Structures are given as structure tokens and as C-alpha cells.
Structure 1
Amino acid sequence: VERGTLVGGPSGGLRVYVNGGGLFVGADGVEGVEVLARYEGEGLVCEGGDAAVVFCRVGDGAAVLTGPHPEFDAWRLDSGAVSGGEGYAGVVASLREDEGKRVEFMKALLVKLGLRVNEDGGEAVPALSELHLSDARPGQVGEMLASWREAGLFTTDEQGQEMLKGEANTFTLTQPDDLDLTSLRAALPTTSTPSATPLSAKPLTLIPHSTTPPPATLTPSFNHSSYFENLTTTALGRTLLYAPTTTSTTTLLEKNPTLLSRLPTGFTVTATTQLAGRGRGTNVWVSPKGALMFSTVLRHSMQLSNATAPVVLVQYLAALAVVEGIKSYGKGYEKVPVKLKWPNDIYALDPSAPTTKKPHNTIPSQETPEARAERERKKYVKIGGILVNSSYTPAAPTSNSASSGSFTLTLGIGLNLSNPAPTTSLTHLTSALHLGPPTPETLLAKILNSFETLYTRFCRTGFDGYFEKVYYEAWLHSGQVVSLEGEGGVRVRIRGVEGQWGMLITEEVEGGRRWEVRSDSNSFDFFRGLVGRKV
């Protein structure tokens, strides 16, 4: 580790995981590049140098490039793997010995990038918690469990413990009447011990609450009574699975497809903390307390999708429901400045953002409306995101219609309620308006209420003029001028969303040609004014 360029890193060297990573040839002679760490040992150094990790400036930002994997936790490796070969167990042991140094090195890299990290080493990763299953309708949980037993989803071990086995997770069923619920929480581990065992392999305790919701003393971070009192839906969110700490609300559903196929429409999973939250592509992150995170099951028929309500547009309804749910939270919340970023992000006007100044040589009468709108867009920051995954179940063989199958959708939504970093939070916004902070229970109910209303109408009318009006009022992009990278940088103006496939409609600024841009990538960045067109 180069102490002269990397402040706060471990003294001396450290051992980290390498999997075919290269070195940066001639890095010492490149202007603007700083070598942060170097390889040591035979086979890792060549005539081109020994630079293993480098820092460089990129535009207004910076990047750290690394050949090895300092982000990789050696406890994820199985020291007993036969495929490791001779001496593999010793290699894994040596990596684990330097785990503390690895964390110290990673923190130093983040600080080098200008990020803020915990000075005290941070809180330990919490252990997976128990799961609480409840329903707004007394007795419904018992009926659902009975249907699972009839379907053969439960097994019983030698001790008579009932177990629900999914493809990825095993759930041990524990009846509330059989134990002291408070002592259960005390008996569970509070932190996760480093282990090569995947999180999904650890059995989870499932506690069904058939008659009344879990008491607030058992789930102090989520008040079930408040949630159900604010819920006005007929289906969405009526059945709720809550976990203080879980891997991912979406993963619990999607990675156990047999169980998913038996869940009622509207079944919702929420958590206070996620250890492996999912985003677009392969993005994964730890979601700390202070965010609203949930996933909801929705079934949408192929026939309905082909007729009036294309399934691809459901993600737009979900984004709109988040905005409407926030604005309907309570008196004064209609003024909270939240917007949609196409296709599936929630942005907010940062109350701490400095006033964006006009170019020094521009007088008010010369600034175009497009330029003013662009200045305002740059004040918005991301506070939430939406991930909608789908699977298709064909119709039964006896069906006469090839289009009578259905999609099972998992709507995953995350929204920052109170964490001050990395951008801003909903609480920060409401505080600036002198409003009380939102609670996860009430906001979850409000969003589900809005979504069910929107979805019911959508199934009847499709993405009609009403949806166009409310969607465009809520998004950031009306009239925005951007460039199509795939078309040689041609300048186009955003006109709207196409109502059949959900693609972005753009029109050439000079010439009038039109393009439709797909929404299946992350390359649309209105801060850069670029749209990556995928074909």
C-alpha cells in the first residue's frame, strides 16, 4: 500500500482475493494517475510495472481501478472445496487472517474518492430475523397455511417441527401460542458471524399471526396496527410478511417459485433492513434502517395484456403510485417536490441544493424555457427506485386460448425515508415544509392504496389520456432535449411514453424524425442529456 497517496490504509502489505485481474502497465508515468497499491511476489510483477490499484480523475469526478478484489470477503470462500486444489485451504485461511486489513483498505479507497465512511468500523452486519405473517382479515392466515399443507408444501422433522421448504429458503413454522414471543427475539443472534454459508441456506423462523397483528412490542420498527388502519385496498397488501432483517424482499419471493405460485395476489413483503437488496441488472446493496422497502405480488393475464393493459406499463403505474402515495400521505404533503425519472426512479428536489446560476453571459430575456427547465432538473436527486420482475405461466392444457396464461409480477420498491446520505430523504423534504416525518407503516399503506386504484383503472381503460396527463405532470422530462448516442448524437426532444410497449417517444429537434427508445437499460441520464438507444 502506497502510504504517500492513500491516507488511512493499513500499514505494510495485505493479502486480498485475485481472480485473473491484471496490472496497470506504465501507470507511474501517466499524468493524473496515482498508484495506490502495488503487487508483491513472483508472477504478479512484469516489465510494465507492479501497479495493482490506481486512482485517476474522470471529468468532474474520480475513479479507483483495481486488478485484485479488495471488496471480496474471504469468508465467502469455502476452504474445503475440492475444486480448490492443493494448498487451497491455506490460501483461504491467509485471506481471512487479513480480513481486518482488507476492510481498512476498502475504507481508505472510499475516502480517497471523497466518500464518508464510519470511523469506528461501522455496525456489524445484523443477523437474519424471524418473519411475521399477518392479514387484515382475521383467520385468513390460517386458511392460507391450510392450503399450503394440502398442497404438500410442509414437511415435519424428527422433532415434530413443521417446515416449509422452498427452492432457496427453508422456513420453520412456529405458532405464537407455543412460545414467548419476546423471548424469541432475545434468543435470536443480533449480528451475523462471518461464514461461508450463503444467507439463503440459513433456516428462517416463520411466525403466523392468525387472529391479530403482531404487537408493537415485538416489531418495534413496524407498527402493524397502524399499517392495517391506513390500508383501504381490497387485495394489495392485505396479506403482509414482515421481517426486521432479511436478505431481500424480492429475493424471498422470486427465489422460491413454488411458494410464490401459491401466494395470493397482493401478497406483500416488507423489511426494516435488507442485507442484499436488489436493483436493476446485478446491482446489490445493504439497505439500512430508515428506508421503506417492500415487494408486492401481482398477477396479470396475458389476455388482459394483449387487449387493453400491456404488462410492460405496470412499472410506470408503480412509479406513479409512489408519487401519489407520498402526496396523499397527509395535509401539506401534496406540496412535497417528488417526481418520476423515466423509466422507474423517484427523484426529489433537494432542499439543500444550491441555487443553480444562469451562465454569466446570459440575461433573463435571453435564457430559453428549455435552459431554465434544465437548470431546475439538476436540483433533483434520487430517493427511490422500482424493480418489476415477471415470469409467465402458460394456460392449462385444456384451455382453448393460447393467450389465457398469466404473468406473475414482483414489484420491488425502495424509498429513502430518513437517511441523510447519499442524496436526501423524504424526511428532509417534509422538514423543509414544516411537516411531520412520514412513518413506513402509513406510507406503505398509502402507496398500495394508490397503486390498487391506478391498476384497477388501467385494467379497464389502458394507458389512456387520464394516465398520460397524471404521468406527465409527475415526471421530469416534458420537452427535454437530449442526444441519441446510437444515432450519432442527433438532438431530439422528449415527447412522451408510447402506450403499447412503454418506450420513450422522441422527436428530432431539426427535421422532425421520431425515435422510440427502450426502457431496459440504465443509460438514460438526464444530467448528461444522453439516451442510449438499444436495438
Structure 2
Amino acid sequence: MNVLVYSGEGTSRASLAHTVRTLRSLVGHHYDVMKIDAKGLTTEPWEESTSLLVIPGGRDLPYTRDLNGAANEKIRAYVAAGGRFWGICAGAYFSSDRIVFEVGTPLEVQGDRELKFFAGECHGVVYPGFVYDSEQGANAVGIRLEEEEFGGERLGFEETRVYFNGGGYFVDAEKQPGCSVLAWYKDTDGNEGQKAAMIVCQVGQGVALLTGVHPEYDPAHLDAGNPEYGPLPNVVSRLLETDQQRLLLVRSLLKKLGLKLSQPEVLQATDAPQDAAFVALPPGAILGIPDLTPLYLASVEPAYTTLLAHSLRSIATSEGLIKEPNDTFQLIASPQHTIPVHTSTLSETAEGESEEKVIKNLVVCHDGGPPASTTPQFVMNDYFQHLKKIRPPTQDFTFGNSLLYGEVVSSTQTMLDKNFTLCQHLPTGFVCNATIQTAGRGRGRNSWISPPGCLQFSMVLRHPFQARHASAVFVQYLAALAIVESVCSLPGYEEVPLKLKWPNDIYAEAPLEEGEEPAPEGTAPRMVKVGGVLVNSNFSGSEFLLVVGCGINTTNPNPTTSINHLIRYHNKKTGKNLALFTQETLLAHVLVKFEQMYTTFLHGNGTGFAQLEQTYYKRWLHTDAFVTLTTMTPHRRVRIQGITLDYGLLKTVGVDGQGRDIEGEEFRLQPDGNSFDMLKGLISTKS
């Protein structure tokens, strides 16, 4: 499921950045936090896959211009049918029945609004001094909470401070049916407790949270030196003093909306009850986004590490820095050397998100991986031992010979794909893996959800351009097939219900929960996603330089299910005692199977994917499935036939109302640029 944040014209780039970052930190292990513009809200079928829609701060008038009409009708229907909505500052003005803003000034805006989630007037600004695109009107405002409105949850405080810049209040909100006040502004013209700062409104079967303040703003990512914040103690310093309370407040708001939260469940509050189980964090820390850890480089044989370290030193400065467009790496000669602490810097991406950059320490381990105590979540030497154990002696293997592991990284895919010179100096089959990714990547606009227990890795693969029989587009199919086959081809594991979804996902038959009835006979069982594949490519000389990224739910129960959960369930049903996988063993099995298949594909009998076609169809979900192509106008109902053997296109044939093939109506779709919504039977353009 997705959390969508509006990013169209009028959105404040700062509010967008803080909103996305905070949501990813608090719910990113359960939901894909993505941005969507006005066109997407109007034309895409986003409603059924969305758990929360957020309209952040910015300017109300561009919102009304771009969203009035069809988009607002869809938003209103989504919430009324049971959806969740959060309007922040301008998003709250926009979502009320009427806006009254800065009357009698050049900034004046008045008028009715379409969504009307709050059936009254949003009036602002509450505190004077607002200036567009400026921090002159920013303030660390006090709010008083109505704790009983948080479902009896013990917040540990009744008042706190949050960021404010131009927000309004909700007139007579306490008198509106279906509306509850969550917090009041403090010290407003001597009328404390009379101006509602945060409200929640029942909208049909759904709920809308509207906040005139900005609880999503993280003061650790505000420039305390900006003179517009005033002299010390200024806006930022005052916000930092109560930031742990802010984090707890945002978690409570998201809980009230019914969202699942990442661990830990609670934070330490300054006056928290002593019997509560709190986790202490430093002021300004973002819950759920830990600091990056060192990267450890090791190989299955020490000689490989020596050669690789020599290659990396050739592109490093005299200080041992590898400076690339996306990342800078500090080479550390061995684990015995001191690992420096680098200061992070903030930069802004083209999309308007603030992005934290820090030099990444790359520790060279010449004599095998570091001790298990250094990397307890992934023991590199265990992986190397298992890799050597399961490799058949009849083939020379290279995939996974060298490994770069970090417990917490930004993105294994980005570190390889976006640092081209570094990638060119890495051997084919080089693997980068991590336990936690703070900015994982998926297809299109998706961010890969990477909770602990998800095996996530990226591999460098040099694919020859002249291999006309073996198109590079098939690499994603091979990687996905290797994941399934690495489990289901093992003796005893043949019936573990892993399947392939075109073009690049791994699905599984969902284990039944306690007391859940099986699907009726003749109906398909419920399928859930447990993994995915992403391939990025660059052209270099006579070859494609590919970065193959994979994510596989191995031991983690969220956000869907895991391979080990499937095995436990299979053992329970069959009475077997199949062993569970560790991250180390599964990675080894996947890489060995992938290399065997890729070698057959590239160097077999010259027919490329045809040699693996039947194995692929054995594992995929779509044989003779009926789907609707929304990529065409009018939409077309088709039957899936298979995959073309030249460029890996999905083959479909049009069908009539009785499901019979229509002669001459054949349609072929590219794997990149199209999205297959299996639950709704739709193939649509990927945004």
C-alpha cells in the first residue's frame, strides 16, 4: 500500500521535503511513501492502493486551480469510502468549507472550497508576520493537546511546541458534528484555548486530519543560522528542545489515522511516566532513520580483495577519497585503522527534497570479512563459506566473489548505479548488500521498503552488446526467476508457494491466519508481494554496465510476509521440518542460481531465453490470464499468451465478451513503462 504526498504546483518545497522524510521514517517499513501531482490524482487509479493522501503546506490558490473538479471529486470519494487524508497548513485551508486568509492585506484570499472535509471556516493567519517563500513569519508555537482524543494513549505531556508559518485555525470546530479538536493554539490574542490548531473530521467511512501547524517539520533539518529565525534562543533552538514530544505527537496522529508504524513504538518524553517503556533519542533525531554505518569490503579469497583494493586506490585522491557525482567514499586500509566520523551536509534534489549527504567509510578487509561482533546482522564469513559449499565444481563462478556490506546504507542500487566511475572499476558479479536502506529504490517513482529482515542487494553485471540472441532486457526476468528457483529447486522445498509476477516481482500465496478460511474452491488464493527486482543500465564501450537490484522478504513479517514464514507454514501443513534461511544462506543460493541461469542464457546453445522459457512459465502467475489494457483507448480485454523471445515483450491477444480470442488482435507490451495491477487485472502506464 502507498502513502501519497501531493507535489504539484503551489506545494512548498520545504514542506514537501519534511513531509516525505518524516513519513518515510515513521511508516516507511509498511508503506511506499510516494509523490503524486495533479495529473496523477486526476487520471491514475490510485485510490485502491492508497492508505493515506497528504496535501502539504504551500499555496492554496494553485491547489484550487489544478485540483478543482475531477481530482477533488476523486479525493472526496476516496475519503468517503474509507480513505485517510491529512491536510497541512495550506492543505488544511484547501480542505475546509471556506478560507479566510489575511483579510485587508495584499495577500488576502477568501472563498468557498470544494473538498469541505471541515464543514466550517479556516481563518488565518493565527500569528502575524507571514511572508510567502520566507521564514520571517516562522514561529515555534505552543499547542495544548486534548489527550482524551488520542484514544486514551498516554502521550506523557499536555503541551508542546511545533513549527508554524502562516497557518489558520478552524472556527468553532468543537461545535461541528463529526469533528473533534486534537489541539488548541496557546497565547493567541489572550484567547488561549479558543482557536483550534489540529482537528480530525469524520467523512463518510473515512477520516480527514487537518493541521494549521506543521508537526511534520524536523528542526534538525532547519538552518539555525538563518537570521529570519531571530537571535538565540530562536525558532529552531526552541523547537529542538521539544522535538521528541513532536515525534511522539506525529506517531500518535498517524496511529489515530489507523496507519501501521515502524518500531520503536514510543519515544522518551521529558515528563513521561516512569513506568512507560520509552526509547531515548537525542534532540532532533528522526525516528526510524538511523545513521549510516561503515561499508566493509571482503572477498571469498584474499587475492580478490587485494586486486580490488588496488583498482579502487587508482581512482582515489591522495587522502583516500573516491569522489563521485552522487557519493564520496573514504578508503580505510583495514578494520584495525581508525574509522573517521564525517559531518553530514544537506543538499536539495531537483524534486525539492532535502537530502543528507555524508562521506561513506569503505573499510578494506584483506583477510576475510570482519568479525561477527562487528556486523552481527550479516556475517560475511558465513556467507563466503556457504557460497563455496554450494557451488558445483563443474563451473567457474564469479557472482558474489567480492562483497561490500553495510548494516545501514542509503541505497545499494544508488551507490553503484549513480557512481559510474566507481562502478566501472568493480568486477562483474560484485555485490553490495545491506541490512537497512534509508533511501532504497524501486521502479518508476517507487521507493523500496527495506525493513530489517529483508535481503537487499545490488550486483554489477557486464552484459556484451554483441550478444544479439541474449537481450539485456531478460536480465530482470532471470534475476526474479533465480530468486524463486533458489528456494523451490532445493530438495523438499518444491511446493513452497513462490511465484513470478510480470515483469519483475516475486509473489507468494499468503499463509492463512489463525481461524482464516481457505479460499473457496475454484477461486485463486490471496497473493502477496515478497520481493522485487530492479535493473539499471549504462552503456560502456562494447557492453552494457548493468546494476541488478533485488529485495527479498526473508525473515521479516512486515509489510506482507517472508520466505521463512512461508516455510514455517508449509512445515505446519505438511509435517516437514525444512530448515529456514538466513540472510547469508539465501544470498549465496540466489547468486549461484542466477549465475548458472545467466551462463546458460548467454553461452548456451545460442537461443538465449528460450532455454529457460518453460522454467519461467512454470513459476509465473499469468498463463492464459485475462487482463484489461488501460494503456489503450478504449480499454481492451486481452488474454496473456507469454513473452516474446527476442525482446521480452508481454504477448497478449484480444478477446470478445465470451473470452474467445479475436484473430489478428495481438498486443505486445514492454516491461519498462507498464505496471501490472494483478489484484485488479489491469495493465497501465507506469508513472
Native 8 Å contact 1:482 1:531 kept in 2: yes
Of the three residues 84, 109, 129, the one matched with 2:293 is 129
TM superposition shift of 1:246 = 1.6
Q: Deviations over 1:275-299 (max 9, x none)?
A: 2222223433663322211110112
Residue 445 in structure 1 maps to residue 609 in structure 2: no
Distance 1:484 1:243, change over 3 A: same
1:201-216 equivalence runs, <5 A: 201-216=357-372
Q: Which of 478, 485, 509 in structure 1 is aligned with 2:655?
A: 509
C-alpha distance in structure 2 between counterparts of 1:69 and 1:283, whole Å:
25
Find out whether 1:382 has 2:529 as its counterpart.
yes
Give, as a single letter, the amino acid of the residue that structure 2 aligns with 1:102: R
Indicate the SS of the match to 2:595. helix
Letter in 1 for 2:466: Q
Tell me the residue number matched to 1:168: 326
Do structure 1's residue 284 and structure 2's residue 447 form an aligned pair?
Answer: yes
Task: Pick the aligned partner of 1:77 from 222, 244, 247.
Answer: 222
Residue 440 of structure 1 deviates from its aligned partner by: 0.8
Distance 2:344 2:309 in 1: 34
Cα deviation, residue 323, structure 1: 0.6
Contact 1:17–1:74, Cα closer than 8 Å, also in 2: no
How big is the shift at 1:243? 1.3
* 2:586 counterpart of 1:426: no
Question: Does residue 510 of structure 2 align to residue 314 of structure 1?
Answer: no
How far apart, in 1, do the equivalents of 2:634 and 2:246 lie?
44
Name the SS of the counterpart of 1:469 in structure 2: helix
* Contact 1:54/1:64 (<8 A) preserved: yes
For residue 17 of structure 2, what is the aligned residue in structure 1?
A: none
Over residues 149-169 of structure 1, what are the superposed CA-to-partner deviations in whole Å (9 max), with x where a residue is unaligned? 3x3x22234xxxx33333333
Contact 1:27 1:51 (C-alpha < 8 Å) held by counterparts = no
Q: TM-score, normalised by structure 2?
A: 0.61
* Partner residue, 2:461: 298
C-alpha displacement of 1:302: 2.6
Gaps of 5+ in 2: 1-144, 189-194, 268-278, 280-286, 348-353, 572-576
Contiguous gaps of at least 5 residues in structure 1: 43-48, 359-363, 365-371, 396-403
Residues 485-531 of structure 1, C-alpha deviations (whole Å, 9 max, x = no match):
24334322222223344332222221622322333357421111222
- Measure, in 2, the Cα distance between the counterparts of 1:287 and 1:2: 35
* Distance change >3 Å, CA 127–CA 493, structure 1 → 2: same
Q: Give the direction of change, closer, same or farther, for the CA distance of 1:268–1:73 in structure 2 (3 Å limit).
A: same
The C-alpha deviation readout for 1:195-253, integer Å capped at 9, x for no partner, is 85888633333221223333334333223233223323622111111112222211222
- Counterpart-to-counterpart distance in 1, 2:415 and 2:298: 16
Q: Distance in 1 between matches of 2:609 and 2:428?
A: 24
How many angstroms apart in 1 are the aligned matches of 2:181 and 2:677?
31
Deviation at 1:17, TM superposition (A): 7.2
Q: Summarize the Cα distance change of 1:476–1:142 in structure 2 as closer, same or farther, 3 Å threshold.
A: same
Identity of aligned residues (%): 38
> Within 2, Cα distance between the matches of 1:72 and 1:222?
34
Aligned twin of 1:481:
626
Q: Would the aligned equivalents of 2:344 and 2:356 in 1 still touch at CA under 8 Å?
A: no
Give the match for residue 339 of structure 1.
499
> In structure 2, how many angstroms separate the alpha carbons of the residues matched to 1:344 and 1:24?
47
For 1:429 and 1:525, the matched residues in 2 are separated by 23
- Name the counterpart of 1:115: 259
The structure-2 alpha-carbon separation of the partners of 1:195 and 1:113, relative to structure 1 and needing over 3 Å to count, comes to: farther
Counterpart contact for 2:383–2:584, Cα < 8 Å: yes
Structure 1 letter corresponding to 2:306: G
Query: Following the alignment from structure 2 to structure 1, what is the Cα–Cα distance between the partners of residues 530 and 421?
Result: 33
Q: 1:339: Cα distance to partner? A: 0.9
Equivalent pair of 2:500/2:506 in contact (CA under 8 Å):
yes
Query: Which of 305, 311, 317 in structure 2 is aligned with 1:155?
Result: 317
Match of 1:172, SS state, is strand
Aligned-partner Cα distance in 2 for 1:332–1:223: 26
Q: Given the superposition, is the C-alpha separation of residues 21 and 254 from structure 1 closer, same or farther in structure 2, using an over 3 Å criterion?
A: farther
Separation in structure 2 between the aligned mates of residue 508 and residue 502 of structure 1, nearest angstrom: 19
Please list the CA deviations of residues 249-275 of structure 1 after superposition, one character each: whole Å capped at 9, or x if unmatched. 112222322211211111101112222
After TM superposition, the score normalised by the length of structure 1 is: 0.76
Cα distance between partner residues in 2 of 1:5 and 1:170: 47
User: CA 1:214/1:101 → structure 2, altered by over 3 Å: closer, same or farther?
Assistant: closer
Distance 1:332 1:262 in 2: 41
* Alignment correspondent of 2:682: 530
Q: CA deviation at 1:86?
A: 6.8
Deviates more, 1:260-269 or 1:490-499: 490-499
